[in-house]
Structure 1
Amino acid sequence: MTAHNWIDLSQDTDTGIETLRAHFEGHAYDPHWHDSYLIGVTEQGVQQFNCRRTRHDSVPGQVFLVEPGELHDGDAPTADGFTYHMLYLDPHWLTREVSTVFEEAPVDSQLSFVSTLADDPRLAFATSQAFQTLHRGELRIVRQRAMDQLLERLTGHLHWRTRYGDDPRLPQVAHKAREYLHAHLHHDVGMHELALACGVDRFRLSRAFKSAFGLPPHAYLVQLRLARARHLLAKGEQPADVAIALGFADQSHMGRWFMRAYGLTPAAYRRRCSNLPDR
C-alpha cells in the first residue's frame, strides 16, 4: 500500500459486521469476491470497478451493492483517488433480519440486489449512519436502531431470486469443477487432478471455467482460501497457522494474495478484527 492509500477497518462485536473506510489512488484491488453482502457509499472521487461483467463508476453519494460471490475489482481513474465507507453484512444475518420485513422467502431462494449502483439519497444516508454508529462503537441501542433504519431502506433494493444451482447456460463441467474445488479447499489441487475428476482435458476445463466464473480454476481456489482465511483471522488465529491450514505455501504467499485482494496484510486484518496482540 502506498503512502497515499489507507484503510480503517473494524468489526462490531454483537453482529460480526465489519465496517471499513478507505482511500485509494491508482490501483486499489485485484479481482476478488467476498462471502458477505457489501453495501457502501462513495465519499469522494470516482470509484471504478468491474462487477457483473460491467464497468461501473461510483461517484460521491452513490451507493454500491455487491452480492456474495460476485467478482469485482477497484481502481481510481482520476489523480485524486477515491474515498468510501462500507459494511460487510453476513448472509445469514441479513436473511434473518429482513425476514421480519419481507414476506416468507420462496423455496430455494436467496436475497439479491436489484442493481449494483443506486442513486438513493435516503439509502446513502442510512448506510452512512449505520457505518458511523458501528464503526465508532456507539451504545448498543443506537447501533441497533441505525441498522434497523438501514434495513428499512435496503428492502427497496432487494428481491428474492432463485438460489444459484446448475445454470443450463453454463457448461456442466464448470459446475463440476467448482464443486470439486469447494470440497477440496485445503488440498494442493492440480489442474490434471481437477480435469480428471471432471472427465475433460485441462485446456477445455480452463476455458469453460473462466467463461462461467470469470477466473481460472487456480485463482478461484485462491479466492476460496482467502474468504476462509478472513473468518479464521477474525477469530484470532495466527496468520502462519491459517496459511498452513489452508494449503498456502507459507505465510508470505498468503500475505501477498491477501494484500492484493483486500489491501491489508493478514496480521493487520487479524489485529483490527480480533483486538488480539500478535504473538
Structure 2
Amino acid sequence: MNKRNWIKVSQDADTGIESIRAHFQGHAYDPHWHDSFLVGVTEHGVQQFNCRRARHYSTPGKVFLLEPGEIHDGHAPTEEGFTYSTLYLDPLWLERELLALFEHAPSNSLPGFADTLSQDPRLAKAVALAFHALHEGDLRMARQAAVDSLLAALTEHLQWRKHQALDPRLPLVAQVARDYLHAHAYEDIGLDDLARACEVDRFRLSRAFKAAFGLAPHAYLIQLRLAKARQLLANGDSPVQVASALGFADQSHLGRWFRRAYQLTPADYRKRCSNLPD
C-alpha cells in the first residue's frame, strides 16, 4: 500500500455492520465486489470509480450506494487523493429491517438502490452520524437511533425488484456459469469444467461472462472466495485456516489477492474486526 494511504476498520457486534474509513492517493483498488450493501460518503477530495457501466466522481458530501455483487474499482484522479467513510450492510439484516419499516413492502421482492450516487444532504448526514456512532462504539441506544435514522433516509433511495431466477438483461450462458461458480467456489475449477457445464466452448464462455459481469471467470471466482474470507477472518479464523478452507494455494496466495482487493493483509483485517491476537 502507498505509505500515504491508510484504512481503519471496525465491526458492530449487534448488527454485524462493518465500518471503514480510508484515504487513498492514486490507485485505490482493483475491480471487485462485495456480498454486502455499501453506503458511504466522500469526506475530502475526488473519489473516481467505475460501476454500472459508467464512471462516477464522488466529491465531498456525496453518498455512494452499491448493491451486493456490483463490480467497482477506485482511483484518486487528483493529487490530494480522497477520504471516505462507508458502512457494509448485510443483505439479510437490511431486508429484515426494511420490511419492518415498510408496511406494504412488495411481496417476493428485493431492495435495491435507484442510483449509484446521491447529493441528498439528509442522507449524507444520516450516513455520517451512523458511521461515527458505529465506528466509535457509541452507547447502544445511540447506535440504534443512528441506524434507524439511516434506514429512514435510505427509504427514499430504494427501489424494489421481483425475485427472479434469471436476469433477462444478462446472457443465459453467463448466468449458468455464475451459478456453477457459486456452487463450486472452493474447488479447483478449470475453464473447461465451466464450459462443459454451460455447453459452450471456453472462448464464448469467457467473452459472455466478462461482458455480463465485468470480470473474467477466474477473477470472479477469486472474489467469491475473498467475500467468504472476510467473514471467516472477522469470526476469528486465522489466515492459514482461511486459505486452506477456501482453496487458495497457501496463505501468501490469499494475502496477495486480499491486499489487492481491500488494501489490508488478512491478519490485519482479522485483528481489526475480531480484536483477537494474531
Q: Report the equivalent of 1:186.
A: 186
CA–CA distance in 1 between the matches of 2:103 and 2:216?
39
Distance 2:118 2:23 in 1: 21
TM-superposed CA distance for 1:168, in Å, is 3.0
Task: Give the match for residue 103 of structure 1.
Answer: 103
Structure 1 Cα separation of the partners of residues 270 and 174 of structure 2: 33
* Matches of 1:38 and 1:149, distance apart in 2: 16
Q: Partners in 1 of 2:139 and 2:197 — Cα distance? A: 53
Which residue of structure 2 aligns with residue 75 of structure 1? 75
RMSD: 1.0
**Residue in structure 2 matched with residue 6 of structure 1 by the alignment:** 6
Gaps of 5+ in 1: none
- Alpha-carbon distance between aligned partners in 2 of 1:99 and 1:108, rounded to the nearest angstrom: 11
How far the C-alpha of 1:101 sits from its partner, in A, is: 1.7
Deviation track 1:59-86 (CA, whole Å, cap 9, x = no partner) reads 0000000000000000000000000001
Q: Which runs of 5+ in 2 are unaligned?
A: none
1:199 Cα offset (Å): 1.1
Residue of structure 2 equivalent to 1:202 = 202
In 2, distance between residues paired with 1:168 and 1:86?
31
C-alpha separation between the residues in 1 aligned to 2:164 and 2:56?
Answer: 24
| Aligned residue number for residue 51 of structure 1 | 51
> More deviation in 237-246 or 93-102?
93-102
2:224 corresponds to: 224
Give the aligned partner of residue 39 of structure 1.
39
CA distance in 2, matches of 1:83, 1:167: 35
1:198, CA displacement in angstroms? 1.3
Distance 1:164 1:230, change over 3 A: farther
- In the alignment, residue 153 of structure 1 is paired with which amino acid? A
After superposition, residues 1-279 of structure 1 pair within 5 angstroms as 1-278=1-278
Query: SS of the residue aligned with 1:78?
Result: coil
SS at match of 2:22: strand
Letter in 1 for 2:2: T
SS in structure 2 at match of 1:31? strand
Per the alignment, in what secondary structure is the counterpart of residue 100 of structure 2? coil
What TM-score comes out, normalization by structure 1 length?
A: 0.97
Q: Secondary structure at the match of 1:100?
A: helix
Letter in 2 for 1:267: A
Q: In structure 1, what is the Cα distance between the partners aligned to 2:69 and 2:104?
A: 24
User: Partners in 2 of 1:197 and 1:154 — Cα distance?
Assistant: 40
| 1:164 shift after superposition | 4.7
Q: Spell out, residue by residue over 1:133-164, the C-alpha distance to the aligned partner (whole angstroms, 9 max, x if none).
A: 11110110010001111111111011211235
Give the drift of 1:227. 0.4
| Amino acid paired to 1:186 | Y
Residues 239 and 164 (structure 1), Cα distance of their counterparts in 2 relative to 1, 3 Å cut? farther
2-side partners of 1:30 and 1:164: how far apart?
29
CA distance in 2, matches of 1:227, 1:76: 24
Give me the TM-score of the superposition, normalised by structure 2: 0.98
Q: Name the CA distance, whole Å, in 1 between partners of 2:224 and 2:113.
A: 22
Q: Deviations over 1:203-243 (max 9, x none)?
A: 11101111111111101100000001000101000001101
Q: How far apart are residue 103 of structure 1 and its match?
A: 3.2
Could you list the per-position Cα deviations for residues 170-216 of structure 1 after superposition, in whole angstroms to 9, with x for gaps in the alignment? 22111111111011011000001111121111011101111111111
Count of paired positions:
278
